[in-house]
Amino acid sequence: AWMQSYPRLQTPAWINVSTNEVAPWYMAGGLLAVRDLTLGEPQEAPQIDDKDDYYSASLKQLVWLAKQDQR
């Protein structure tokens, strides 16, 4: 996966596959949880706080449920 070529906290939020343009910001919150699940990296129960919006919190919870389903 293209994400493996970046350090975890410096993974671009997206890459345009047509132009190879890279997002000017990094993955955070729920998107990082999806990245970690995709790469098979260890995960804990989701930590959801005030800085997580609805989508980030939802992704964190869905990733946690997916991980539980893999057991």
The tens place of each residue's pLDDT in the chain, 71 residues long, gives: 789 999 999 999 999 999 999 999 999 999 999 999 999 998 889 999 999 999 999 999 999 999 988 87
Give Cα separations from 47 to 6, 13, 20, 22 (angstroms).
23, 20, 32, 28
The reported pLDDT for the residue numbered 37 is 95
pLDDT score, position 1: 75
Q: What is the DSSP string of 7-34?
A: -GGG-BS-B-TTT--B-SSB--HHHHHH
pLDDT of residue 2: 87
In this prediction, residue 42 carries a pLDDT of 84
pLDDT of res. 69: 85
